[in-house]
């Protein structure tokens, strides 16, 4: 793997390209929209039934999908993964895949956003009052769309994130299936407080053997010498992780899913996170110590550029069916 050629330490942010304006939308939808019981409402007005086990028991699964320059990214792969989560949780969707597909298009079109963060959510619903029989629950579907969310702002990405490796153990994969995209986040959230207390910006949790797993909303990659490693167990198979592995295949970079002890991560030459909420995000400090020379490394920069160049061109994209014709992009 070449770690020195063809790169330059500066990230090429998508903000460097002329941004398309959001499409004119009803000002009530400026903060985003939600899809509730078949109706699209302003996101801040969306409400859910209090007795839904999605709320009372964190019994829910979700998919987060990005829209970049008017294109959903890997929408059918996200819908496939959603179906996988539903199957693993034994949830019967109350509406067919085609209706969910239509709902996400309608939300983005109604909001009029060019760059958006879309979340589709299935909750367990509830059994009749007085019953605790999970088999009597009827699942509920709901969704929202807000402007694109970054785990780290482009400025923070340029200098790299500062991360804390917690000794908190991520909820065991033998208790809660990490391949389901779920909301069991109390371990992450307490870990984030630990990170903030130490001056870091986010956290990575370990498993019972001390191998790093993932963090709140992201997967992890580390270059250790000539090897590019990513945890192989105990984490979600994130869409951006999958995309990064495919990018590496295209670029002739070998990625090894492997056990990654926290100590090995501390000695890495490069580390980056992958997430729908921001793509590939360099990490330049772990628990206060610099990684490599303290700047985003060459493999990270190369993959970051490749990812965003392709995204800007609509790679793996599905155009949003907006309700009106697109404006002409400024040259």
By CB under 6 A, name the binding residues for ligand PLP.
64, 214, 217-219, 235-236, 238-241, 274-276
144, 33 in Cβ contact below 8 A? yes
* C-alpha 33 chain-centroid distance: 19
Helices vs. strands in the chain: H and E counts, helices first: 8, 15
Q: Least distance in Å: CB of 183 to ligand PLP?
A: 9
* C-alpha 100 chain-centroid distance: 19
Q: Which residue in the shown chain puts its C-beta closest to ligand PLP?
A: 238
Q: How far is the CA of 307 from the CAs of 113, 162, 227, 304, in angstroms?
A: 21, 22, 20, 5
Q: Which is nearer to ligand PLP, 178 or 296 (CB)?
A: 178
Q: Is 39 exposed, middle or buried (0-12, 13-18, 19+ CB in 10 A)?
A: exposed
* C-alpha 283 chain-centroid distance: 16
- DSSP assignment of 207-220 equals -TTSBB--BTTBEE
Q: Which is nearer to ligand PLP, 241 or 302 (CB)?
A: 241
Which residue is listed with tokens 């007085």?
130
Provide the terminal-to-terminal Cα distance of the chain, rounded to the nearest Å: 37
Q: Which is nearer to ligand PLP, 7 or 219 (CB)?
A: 219
136, 109 in Cβ contact below 8 A? no
Q: Least distance in Å: CB of 64 to ligand PLP?
A: 5
Q: Which is nearer to ligand PLP, 110 or 166 (CB)?
A: 166
Report the alpha-carbon distance of residue 324 to residue 322 in Å, rounded. Answer: 6
Q: Which is nearer to ligand PLP, 230 or 274 (CB)?
A: 274
123, 54 in Cβ contact below 8 A? yes
- DSSP assignment of 244-266 equals HHHHHHHHT--EEEE--BHHHHH
Q: Which is nearer to ligand PLP, 35 or 218 (CB)?
A: 218
Q: Which is nearer to ligand PLP, 126 or 164 (CB)?
A: 164
Instruction: Give every CB contact of residue 252 below 8 A, 6+ residues apart in sequence.
Output: none
| Diameter over CA atoms, the chain | 66
Q: Which is nearer to ligand PLP, 40 or 204 (CB)?
A: 204
Report the alpha-carbon distance of residue 92 to residue 212 in Å, rounded. Answer: 33
Q: Least distance in Å: CB of 127 to ligand PLP?
A: 28
Q: Least distance in Å: CB of 148 to ligand PLP?
A: 13
Q: Least distance in Å: CB of 51 to ligand PLP?
A: 26
Q: Least distance in Å: CB of 120 to ligand PLP?
A: 12
């Amino acid at each position: 793997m070449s770690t020195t050629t063809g790169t330059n330490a500066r990230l090429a942010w998508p903000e460097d390209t002329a941004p398309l304006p959001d499409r004119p939308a009803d000002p009530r939808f400026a903060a985003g929209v939600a899809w509730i019981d078949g109706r699209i409402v302003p996101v801040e007005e969306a409400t859910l039934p209090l007795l839904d086990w999605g709320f009372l028991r964190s019994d829910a699964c979700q998919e987060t999908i990005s829209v970049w320059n008017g294109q959903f990214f890997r929408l059918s792969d996200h819908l496939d993964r959603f179906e996988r989560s539903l199957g693993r949780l034994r949830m019967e969707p109350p509406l067919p895949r085609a209706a969910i597909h239509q709902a996400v298009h309608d939300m983005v079109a109604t909001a009029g956003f060019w760059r958006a963060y879309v979340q589709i959510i299935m909750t367990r619903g509830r059994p009749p009052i007085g019953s605790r029989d999970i088999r009597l629950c009827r699942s509920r579907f709901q969704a929202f769309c807000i402007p694109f969310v970054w785990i780290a702002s482009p400025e923070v990405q340029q200098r790299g994130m500062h991360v804390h490796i917690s000794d908190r153990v991520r909820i065991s994969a033998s208790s809660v299936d990490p391949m389901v995209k779920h909301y069991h986040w109390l371990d992450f959230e307490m870990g984030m407080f630990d990170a903030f207390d130490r001056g870091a910006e986010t956290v990575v949790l370990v498993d019972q053997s001390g191998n790093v797993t993932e963090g709140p909303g992201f997967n992890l990659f580390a270059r250790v010498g000539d090897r590019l490693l990513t945890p192989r167990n105990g984490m979600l198979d994130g869409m951006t992780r999958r995309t990064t592995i495919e990018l590496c295949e295209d670029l002739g970079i070998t990625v090894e899913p492997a056990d990654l002890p926290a100590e090995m991560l501390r000695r890495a030459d490069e580390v980056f996170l992958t997430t729908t909420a921001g793509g590939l995000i360099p990490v330049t400090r772990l628990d206060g110590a610099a990684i490599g020379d303290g700047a985003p490394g060459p493999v990270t920069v190369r993959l970051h550029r490749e990812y965003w160049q392709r995204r800007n061109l609509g790679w793996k994209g599905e155009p949003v069916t907006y309700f009106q014709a697109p404006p002409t992009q400024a040259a």
